[in-house]
Amino acid sequence: MPSQKRVELAGSHREMVAGASSPRPVDNHEMVQATVVLRRRARAQMPAAEEFAFRQSNVASYHTRDEFAVLHGADPVDIASIEAFAHDNGLTVSERSAARRSVMLKGTAENMQKAFGTALAHYDTPAGGYRGRTGSVTIPANLEGVITAVLGLDNRPVATPHLRRADAAKASSGLAPTQVAQAYSFPVGATGAGQTIGIIELGGGYSSSDLNTYFGAHAPTVTSVSVDGGANQPGVDPNSDGEVMLDIEVSGSVAPGARIVVYFAPNTDQGFHDAITMAVHDTVNKPSVISISWGGPEDSWTPQASTAMLEACTDGAGVGVTITAAAGDNGGSDGVSDGKLHVDLPACLPPVLACGGTKLTLSGTTIKTEVVWNELAANEGATGGGVSDIQPIPTYQAHAGVPVQKATKFAGRGVPDVAGDADPVTGYKVRVDGQNTVIGGTSAVAPLWAGLIALINQEMGKAVGFVQPALYQMIGTQSFHEITKGNNNGYQAGPNWNPCTGLGSPNGAAILKALQGTTAQRASAT
């Protein structure tokens, strides 16, 4: 066929990982899979996430999954154009989804490189090897605007689990998740029955025997879904196993009546994105809340991948799914050693309920003290939080007092929205790989809030979905325990909202009551 004019795919430029070895060419016969993300059908008609915000009336602000696929999924004509592109380049289509706006292509490295105008190579780093690329992806000019992202050619890890294990000598100070829920006044009598909690995992696995030992007779139903070849693999990576078990055991303890579905995917931009879209558009399991405890600094993502993640989470708002995400465990730097302040992705995405961390001490069943979690001096982590340098401030934060980004003065999205106990010293008693231990980190706060949302959904009789606008109307009320003391080595705590703990830790019963009493007029004003 005659050669076609090619154009760079906007936002696809890549640099190799700092400190990586010189590249080694890939074997031309190596099999590669990539997810091609497509534009929305009638893109101009896609509302902003806040159009799907929770409202108290019985008229849902969001769509069913089937409705959303028809209204805002990919156009079949666009899918057909990618299938033709694949055929012309010796690639095969292994999956296609109009709802997820994605087509997965498989083929040899040689054909993938030709199809996307890039060179693949293998790199070694102190953290492990990866197959990567540098420069930009190119596509035929006729597909410009049709393709919004190509993910998976570069399979470097994009995220880390945001958990911190307690020192063995301090493990006795841990709390059962139910103790934390009681201190935060989670709705009494609710179990999450009728709800499904989706959990995104990029490694590790769970053991049914550990879950049975931990939960006893009250073990929730836990199933797994494979995404892009990811699988439940306990015993391979103890740290990732800790993340998986923490997520299941915290959410399952506070919402024992909910089903839990774990979506396992590779730790790549492709795997992360595809796991979220799989969970959001899952018409079989239908999660009403999704918990994410993995992430990476927002500026470590390519713009195309960051946008794809944003749109995947916006889809969540569109179908009434609440997405909770850990804000990070390395303070205001988010673990970047450039001396600047950073926030974590996906927590920084406006449709996501970003979860920060506190140090909680109890007196019996009530809160004795609660301050910002910051144990960086003891090498035990600190809550992430700050101001995005990429995502603009959302409407729901317009009157929350979010400062501009300190270095760039950008009026960005403030992180986190809410908080909860995260200090490993006052962390959560869990069971991992046959051992009882105590784990903290904002990784515990995301499933804690996911469990709370499941309880609220049960009591409301419907999914609250994109709930942030309603939560920000509760500033200064008894719905939150404001955290006014402490810092995260970047920002200082303070009243109302702050860039360490957001609105504060929850008073679950008061939040439920406020949502039940929120008027349609107040919700529509967000």
Q: Which of 271, 295, 222, 211 is nearest to 245 (CA)?
A: 211
Q: What is the pLDDT of residue 526?
A: 23
Q: What is the pLDDT of residue 1?
A: 45
Sign of CA dihedral 379, 416, 515, 400: positive
State pLDDT tens for residues 64-113.
Answer: 999 999 999 999 999 999 999 999 999 999 999 999 999 999 999 999 99
Q: Which of 315, 319, 313, 277 is nearest to 36 (CA)?
A: 277
- 3-class secondary structure, 413: strand
Q: What is the pLDDT of residue 218?
A: 84
Return d(Cα 146, Cα 109) in angstroms, integer: 23
Q: Per the residue annotation, which of 154, 243, 334, 389 is the catalytic one?
A: 243
Least confident of 16-25, 73-82, 379-388, 485-494: 16-25
**Arch. (CATH architecture) of 160-524:** 3-Layer(aba) Sandwich (3.40)
Q: What is the pLDDT of residue 44?
A: 54
Domain extents for the chain?
Answer: 6-39+75-151, 160-524
Q: Per the residue annotation, which of 207, 443, 479, 505 is the catalytic one?
A: 443
Average pLDDT score over residue span 365-376: 96
Q: Per the residue annotation, which of 228, 247, 269, 315 is the catalytic one?
A: 247
Bridge partners of residue 439, in order along the sequence: 165, 428
Average pLDDT score over residue span 274-294: 98
End-to-end CA distance of the chain: 53
247 counts as catalytic: yes
Please provide the DSSP assignment of 100-151 as one string. TTEEEEEEEHHHHHHHHT--EEEEEETTEEEEEE-B--EEEGGGBTTEEEEE
243 counts as catalytic: yes
Cα distances from 267 to residues 231, 329, 399, in angstroms, run: 12, 18, 36
pLDDT at 435 over 70: yes
pLDDT at 520 over 60: no
Residue 167 pLDDT class (50, 70, 90 cuts): confident
Question: CB–CB of 222/250 below 8 Å?
Answer: no
Average pLDDT score over residue span 326-331: 97
Q: What is the pLDDT of residue 503?
A: 98
